[in-house]
């Protein structure tokens, strides 16, 4: 599989598994009578982390890729505020997560080999200027998503919510020659 198709695979997989996570978290929120349930709060914090981290990276990507910049302006980022508590509502987070995932999936299908061979220049959160291969930065982006998702899936499994299958190839098994 070439790099462009691999990015498309990772994007559509992320959208698919994030939808499953959102559904599970919203179901857990409906079943939880205590609004300060520690497990639910921990899951919402992780979902918030994934939204904020993706937003940070997508802003970096948008500075280098004009098409992404246009797509990024379509998302209502006013929903993502600096006030973390106001962002921890399951429906609000699910709306933002779904918007980001749809944009990532649309963007991934427009990435070219030329884009992947370019360099991404940005200032990291520590204030240090960085210059990274764009493909490497994208893989870091998707790997961080997977890391946070695995923590969420682990916490959900402690609440007896089992995802059974989380394999990268499952949503695409009919489309891929494995």
Residue 77's pLDDT is 54
Q: What is the pTM assigned to this prediction?
A: 0.83
Mean pLDDT to the nearest integer, 30-35: 68
For residue 177, being part of any structural domain is answered with no
For residue 20, being part of any structural domain is answered with yes
For residue 128, being part of any structural domain is answered with yes
For residue 17, being part of any structural domain is answered with yes
**What percentage of residues in the chain have a pLDDT greater than 70?**
78
Residue 178's pLDDT is 33
Q: What is the DSSP letter of 114?
A: H
For residue 100, being part of any structural domain is answered with yes
Domains in the chain, number = 1
Helix 38-64 with 90-108: angle, nearest 10 deg: 30
Question: What domain range is 65 assigned to?
Answer: 3-172
Residue 140's pLDDT is 96
For residue 91, being part of any structural domain is answered with yes
Give the count of alpha carbons within 13 A of 130, CB side only.
16
Mean pLDDT to the nearest integer, 66-90: 63
């Amino acid at each position: 599989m070439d790099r462009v198709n691999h990015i498309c695979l990772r994007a559509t997989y992320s959208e698919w598994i994030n939808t499953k996570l959102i559904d599970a978290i919203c179901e857990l929120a409906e079943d939880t009578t205590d609004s300060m349930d520690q497990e639910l709060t921990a899951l919402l914090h992780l979902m918030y982390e994934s939204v904020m981290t993706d937003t940070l990276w997508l802003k970096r990507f948008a500075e280098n890729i004009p098409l992404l910049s246009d797509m990024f302006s379509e998302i209502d980022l006013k929903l993502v505020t600096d006030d973390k508590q106001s962002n921890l509502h399951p429906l609000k987070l699910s709306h933002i997560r779904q918007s980001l995932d749809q944009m990532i999936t649309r963007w991934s299908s427009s990435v070219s080999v030329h884009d992947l061979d370019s360099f991404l220049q940005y200032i990291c959160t520590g204030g240090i200027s960085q210059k990274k291969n764009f493909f490497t930065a994208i893989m870091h982006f998707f790997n961080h998503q997977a890391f946070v998702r695995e923590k969420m899936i682990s916490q959900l499994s402690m609440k007896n919510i089992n995802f059974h299958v989380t394999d990268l190839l499952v949503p695409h098994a009919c489309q891929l020659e494995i």
